[in-house]
């Protein structure tokens, strides 16, 4: 067996263990192992624990909401971060939330995306026959009509 591949494998493992590499997902076996993100937008070291990973991604979303579109199968917590921003925008802080609602709809194209709010997947699926602008409006109406921690009820009326 050649020595170079063995050495490269050991160096790779050491590099990951010491946090010298950035990661693009949760570790294998984690409950959200199918969640992936673009490394170019999220600089998360390979030695970070899963709770810290999710916190870092949510913080990045809070700071730059459109990076949500660079996540495949976002966790419920990541989705709730976006929903909170949508709510804030509906209240007049930061402009119209249509861009974020569109990203939320696109996130649910995957069956592996776990629902952040019960019924959200069904609400999104019920708009599948419409063009995206209509889907966005209908989902905003759905969010406005449901009691939630985001208080979007008053903002849309």
Per-residue pLDDT of the chain (157 residues; tens, 9 = 90+): 577 777 766 766 666 666 567 889 998 899 999 999 998 899 898 888 999 999 999 999 999 999 999 999 999 999 999 999 998 888 876 667 999 999 999 999 999 999 999 999 999 999 999 999 999 999 999 988 766 555 443 444 3
pTM of the predicted model as reported, rounded to 2 decimal places? 0.81
> What DSSP state is assigned to residue 67?
G
49: left (phi over 0), alpha (psi -120 to 50) or beta: beta
Backbone angles phi, psi at 25, to 5 degrees: -175, 170
144-149 contacts at long range (C-beta below 8 A, 24 or more positions apart): 144/90, 146/117, 146/119, 148/83, 148/117, 149/80
């Amino acid at each position: 067996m050649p020595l170079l591949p063995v050495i490269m494998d050991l160096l790779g493992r050491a590099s990951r263990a010491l946090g010298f590499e950035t990661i693009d997902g949760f570790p294998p076996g984690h409950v959200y192992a199918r969640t992936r993100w673009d490394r170019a937008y999220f600089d998360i070291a390979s030695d970070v624990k899963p709770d810290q990973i999710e916190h870092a991604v949510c913080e990045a979303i809070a700071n730059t909401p459109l990076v949500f579109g660079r996540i495949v199968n976002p966790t419920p917590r990541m989705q709730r971060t976006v929903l909170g921003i949508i709510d804030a925008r509906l209240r007049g802080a930061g402009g119209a939330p249509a861009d974020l609602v569109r990203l939320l709809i696109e996130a649910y194209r995957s069956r592996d995306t776990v629902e952040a709010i019960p019924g959200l997947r069904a609400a999104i699926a019920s708009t599948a026959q419409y063009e995206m602008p209509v889907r966005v409006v209908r989902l905003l109406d759905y969010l406005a009509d449901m009691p939630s921690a985001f208080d979007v009820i008053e903002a849309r009326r």
